[in-house]
Amino acid sequence: MLNKKVEEAINAQINAELFSAYLYMSMGAYLDSMNLTGFSNWMSIQVQEELSHVQKFYHYVNERGGRVVLDAIEKPEFEWDSVLDVFEATYEHEQKVTSLINGLVEVARIENDNATYNFLQWFVSEQVEEEASADAMVQKMKLIGDFGPGIFMLDQEAMQRVFVPPAASEGA
């Protein structure tokens, strides 16, 4: 049976992951409005990743005899100053999510819930990848600056990004 404090913390994380998907969808819409479909695709992949995280948490809570309780999702930002600003906001958001995951790990540790602690290790590793991916885009954008052809080329590169769902055994 899932400890109530752990269950509440995971439910809060489910809501945070849903907000992340909503935020990245908003970022994608902003980028689409600028005809930057590659960058929009990059954000679409982020949306899919966040929703896969929701599913992992959802199934885990149910497997442990808990109850998933969804909460309202706050309205995401929808305007940015530049493409660089979008990716800097993405990187900052991923750092925030890392902090939330670390907080969940701490709750599992305090509650002596070794199964949840073990389950969360996949998310700890995933956040390293999430931060690195966002930071790579920030660093590339900084190198390019306002150079239009460079932005076009990076947009084309971002179009190649595809969603690769985690293996069924990962994080489950």
* Structural domain spans, the chain: 4-159
pLDDT tens digits in sequence order for the chain, 172 residues long:
899 999 999 999 999 999 999 999 999 999 999 999 999 999 999 999 999 999 999 999 999 999 999 999 999 999 999 999 999 999 999 999 999 999 999 999 999 999 999 999 999 999 999 999 999 999 999 999 989 999 999 999 999 999 998 876 554 5
pTM of the model: 0.93
CATH topology of domain 4-159: Ferritin (1.20.1260)
**Which pLDDT belongs to residue 170?**
57
Give the burial class of 164: count Cβ atoms within 10 A of its Cβ; 0-12 exposed, 13-18 middle, 19 or more buried.
Answer: exposed
CA distance 134 to 59: 27
**Which pLDDT belongs to residue 166?**
84
CA distance 125 to 88: 21
Indicate if the alpha-carbon torsion angle 160, 137, 91, 131 is positive or negative.
positive
